[in-house]
Chains A and B, each alone.
Chain A
């Protein structure tokens, strides 16, 4: 299932709507990295509220996505990690390392707005 990507000012918002396959995640990563340059984007928000699992592949793909976008000169913030998903990630020893996170879309936008 394709993830809709909205442009709002200098930011992109990728709002995941349902469970994603590994292929969907990789497609999202590549689409965001492309659009950062094409649309001269400064910040990217990935909203994972709808994801009920963030396993090792998903965690790694989100880390890769954020690192690639940083290398392209923009910032990424992951928002909406659900409490049970956070619980499972910690138990499994999975982390997003240094990737910024925020509670929800609103906090994510604030974060990007203050870190120009």
Chain B
């Protein structure tokens, strides 16, 4: 999914400290686009989950943020890591149960208006968009 205009922010993710930067950038963009404080916190949380997965499983990658149409924000998390072997398992449950992989992805999918995950030996890309309510 391509960003629809020139308003794109790229945040390199190379270490755990970049998570804080990435979610602050996401919150700032959400505020700028007129999302409510709750929605901005939701966006920051989603970015945090995705950026953590990059650091934990791929080592490095990037978070790309963009304005999506008139009332949306797009987030893409990209890495060249080993990929997720069992996407279905990664999308199940969460940290509190033993059946999920604990990647935080089910929660992220739940809050997204559109959600897409592509993963293979060349890496993983998770893309989602969120609309203002």
Interface residues of A (CB under 8 A from B): 19-23, 52-57, 59-60, 82-85, 87-89, 91-95, 97
Contacts and interface: CB of A to CB of B under 8 A. Distances in A.
A55 B49 CA distance: 7
B38 A56 contact: no
B17 interface: yes
A82 B44 CA distance: 14
B16 to A, nearest CB: 5
Contacts of A21: 16-17, 19-20
Interface of B: 16-17, 19-20, 23-24, 27, 36-38, 40-42, 44-46, 48-49, 52, 94-96, 102, 104, 106-108, 110-111
A60 B42 contact: no
Nearest to B106: A93
A84 B40 contact: yes
Contacts of A91: 38, 42, 107, 110-111
Contact of B24 (A19, A55, A57): A19
B41 A53 contact: yes
A90 B44 CA distance: 14
Given A92-B110, A92-B111, A93-B94, A54 B52 contact: no
Given A22-B52, A56-B49, A92 B20 contact: no
B23 A53 contact: yes
20 contacts: A19-B24, A21-B16, A21-B19, A22-B16, A53-B44, A56-B94, A56-B95, A57-B104, A83-B38, A87-B38, A87-B41, A88-B38, A88-B42, A88-B45, A91-B38, A92-B45, A92-B104, A93-B94, A94-B94, A94-B107
